[in-house]
Chains A and B, each alone.
Chain A
Amino acid sequence: DAKTTQPNSMESNEEEPVHLPCNHSTISGTDYIHWYRQLPSQGPEYVIHGLTSNVNNRMASLAIAEDRKSSTLILHRATLRDAAVYYCILRVNYGGSQGNLIFGKGTKLSVKP
């Protein structure tokens, strides 16, 4: 899977929007962009994924650059419960012989009340 680059940490205030960036300049045409997050002392949790178009779900929005070399996870109103490490992961569309996720260091998001 291609490499991603994320800031080590970010801070946000409660109730404000948060934009978490991810660079993936070596992305290939069939790579999906996934975001997972890991709350303290818990297992990772799927957040959202996309291929080319922007995506929205109940948790977040994913904005994908036109050239697909970067993307941004958007939390519209951060809450204290959103404090977690957020991982941006690229997934190749394999035929099924490989399945593992490759986690980088992620971005540790702190939310201040």
Chain B
Amino acid sequence: NAGVMQNPRHLVRRRGQEARLRCSPMKGHSHVYWYRQLPEEGLKFMVYLQKENIIDESGMPKERFSAEFPKEGPSILRIQQVVRGDSAAYFCASSLIPGQGAVEQFFGPGTRLTVL
């Protein structure tokens, strides 16, 4: 059973360009979470999605960032007009059922975004 897959693993963008990060959850998982880890900092929650729905986006920056998880295909985290401060590792996680107390999340290897 393949784990959570993320691509690309490394992404380089110039300021002002768009970045698209993809996440394919584990087979059978319909709950996806995105986290961001800035250099030398801890992981911070960004957004929680279920198929075709955003459940919690309390950690998403108000501008330039958006996320979707369509009925078919991977979840996409989109960053428009990237700035140097967006340089970070972005991790996706998935779970089989909603985030109740005993449920574990499975993480992907991350996408490391570098903004020049």
Chain A residues with CB under 8 Å of chain B are 30-32, 34, 38, 42-46, 49, 51, 91-106
Contact = CB atoms under 8 A, between A and B. Distances in A.
A103 B42 contact: yes
B114 to A, nearest CB: 14
Contacts of A94: 98-101
Interface residues of B, number: 29
Contacts of B43: 38, 44, 101, 103
Contact of B56 (A43, A44, A99, A102): A99
Interface stretch (B11-19, B67-75, B79-87, B103-111): B103-111
Given A43-B91, A91-B101, A91-B102, 12 more contacts: A43-B4, A49-B104, A93-B101, A94-B98, A98-B99, A99-B31, A99-B56, A100-B33, A102-B45, A103-B44, A105-B42, A106-B42
6 contacts: A43-B4, A43-B107, A51-B102, A96-B99, A99-B48, A100-B33
B42 A91 contact: no
A38 B98 CA distance: 22
Contacts of B31: 99
Interface string B26-42: 00000101010000001
Given A43-B109, A97-B55, A32 B102 contact: yes
Interface string B41-59: 0111100100000011001
- Interface-centre pick from A49, A101, A105 (highest chain B CB count, 10 A): A101
Contact of A30 (B33, B55, B99, B101): B101
Contacts of B42: 103-106
B99 A99 contact: yes
A21 to B, nearest CB: 18
A38 B56 CA distance: 24
A99 B102 contact: no
B24 interface: no
Given A100-B33, A103-B44, A95 B100 contact: yes
